Amino acid sequence: MSGYGQLIPLLTAAGILLAGNGIQGTLITLRANIEGFDPALIGLMGTAYFAGFALSCLATPHLIRRVGHIRVFAALAAIASAATLMLVLMVDSTVWLVMRFATGFCFAGLFTVMESWLAASSKNADRAQILSIYRIVDMTANAGAQFLLPAFGALGFELFAIIAILFAFSLVPISLGDRSSPKPPEAFSFDLRTVWNISPLACAGCLTLGLTNSAFRLIGPLYADEMGLDTAGVALFMSAGIVGGAALQFPLGYLSDRFDRRKMIMGVTLGAMLAGLLLSTAEPGNQVLIYTGSFIFGAFALPLYSLSIAHANDQAEPGQFVLVAAGMIFFFALGATFGPLIASLVLDRFGAPAFFTYTSAVHGTLIVVTLARMAIRPEVVDKGRASFNFLLNSSPVFVRMATRKNGSEKSGAKRGK
């Protein structure tokens, strides 16, 4: 707990940065629609963003190793700021595709910097607490930033400028904070086959998230717009989903530590599928159902990432945590590269309600995969939980329970450290 103070500059920078990124996706979708871009082209912009995201997963660790966390953060935030201004200076589909690719590259790198910094600056006893604070900062900033949209509108220059300013300001706390950034990581081999062998279900979960959550973020505003919501309504629709995800993030993680993680993944995925089916039945103008459905969808769909990476780390050896983190981000980016494009084509061909029929179909597929994995591998080996584990580590009661379960006082003491 005493070490939290040194992370305040990083968490402050994260809040500023993620607020800008949160509103940018919504703004670009609405502005592209106003400019008359085809829905398929809007989806392709999402594909470009996450293609850059995937490439950055491979490149950023090497950049951090060469020049360190702070310099990589500064460079990527500066590029993201410039790319945002280019979007409004040159309203052209080709330019927007290139700028979205560049922005995706930058933000995958920025996420890698922030999350590896937090992980390296924490201990086993408080790592989950710190990462939970980070996720709360992320979702709070993201949800709050949505209301910049009705305040400034999507048509003018102002909101693009505000986003660029936020990206630039995120450099201030990082640059003026103390020198608490971790050492550059050691070199490691990025081996997707090894990642897949560690946990096929976690890989499938992150791929599903890429196909669905990225589509919700980038095509969701188009769905809301076509369902008859005004600009303020679109902001509320997106915020409802994000707030829902924040509301259940910790409770679902806590339950996943008490029960079979795979059953929790299946239950959460089922909830997301049913919420999607509910939204697919909504009629245009039925705001209560649309907002409620968005909240429920976010409540189940957004925490799925944490559960998936926790399950992967359960199966990983201690020396594989960096590999697992990079691999999970890559599988998410792989799905997200295609998710917005597929969703936009579905929406354009079958109408707005079909958007959530698409997400439900993808979530239903993950349920089938989960059942198959549970049939193939009835028992899983817990090699050390990496998410929401502080309750086990900090409670003497749980430590004693773990000790009795393992039949060894020495083993239980090690797990409590």
What are the tens digits of pLDDT across the range 229-244? 988 898 899 889 988 9
Distances (CA, A) of 265 to 87, 202, 209, 311, 332: 38, 9, 12, 9, 16
For the chain, domains (ranges, CATH) are 1-180 (1.20.1250.20), 190-386 (1.20.1250.20)
Q: Higher model confidence: residue 219 or residue 366?
A: 366
pLDDT of residue 367 exceeding 50: yes
Position 286 pLDDT exceeds 80 = yes
Return the higher-pLDDT residue of 100 and 414.
100
Higher-scoring residue by pLDDT: 187, 145: 145
Quote the pLDDT of residue 166: 95
- Looking at residue 290, what is its pLDDT? 95
pLDDT of residue 405 exceeding 60: no
Predicted confidence band at 256 (pLDDT cuts at 50, 70, 90)? confident
pLDDT at residue 402 is higher than 80: no
Q: Residue 358's pLDDT band (boundaries 50, 70, 90)?
A: very high
Average pLDDT over residues 105-127: 74
pLDDT the model gives residue 370: 93
Mean pLDDT value of segment 340-363: 92
pLDDT at residue 417 above 90? no
Mean pLDDT of 120-136: 63
Rounded CA gap, 119 and 292, in Å? 34
Residue 407 φ/ψ region, left for φ over 0, alpha for ψ in the -120 to 50 degree band, beta for the rest: left
The confidence score (pLDDT) of residue 322 equals 64
Average pLDDT over residues 302-320: 78
Report which of 250, 294, 266 is spatially closest to residue 208, judged by C-alpha positions. Answer: 266
The C-alpha atoms of residue 99 and residue 93 are separated, in whole angstroms, by: 10
H or E element at residue 151: helix 148-152
pLDDT grade for 201, boundaries at 50, 70 and 90: very high
Coil, strand or helix at 156: coil
Percent of all residues in the chain with a pLDDT value above 90, rounded to a whole number: 34
CB 104 within 8 A of CB 53: yes
Highest-scoring range by mean pLDDT, 194-203, 248-257, 373-382:
194-203
Average pLDDT, the chain: 81
Give residues with Cβ within 8 angstroms of 332, minimum separation 6.
206, 207, 209, 210, 305
| pTM assigned to the model | 0.73
Q: What are the tokens at 58?
A: 């491979």
Q: How far apart are CA 14 and CA 9, in angstroms?
A: 9
How far is the C-alpha of 249 from the C-alpha of 165, rounded, in Å?
30
Q: What is the pLDDT of residues 129-169, one digit of tens each?
A: 566 677 778 888 888 888 888 888 888 899 999 999 999 99
pLDDT at 187: 64
Residue 189 near residue 21, CB atoms below 8 Å? no
**Integer angstrom CA distances of residue 332 from 7, 57, 200, 210, 272:** 27, 10, 13, 4, 17
- Binning pLDDT at 50, 70 and 90, where does residue 390 land? very low
167-184, pLDDT tens digit by residue? 999 999 888 875 666 666
Q: Measure the CA–CA gap between 23 and 25, rounded to whole angstroms.
A: 6
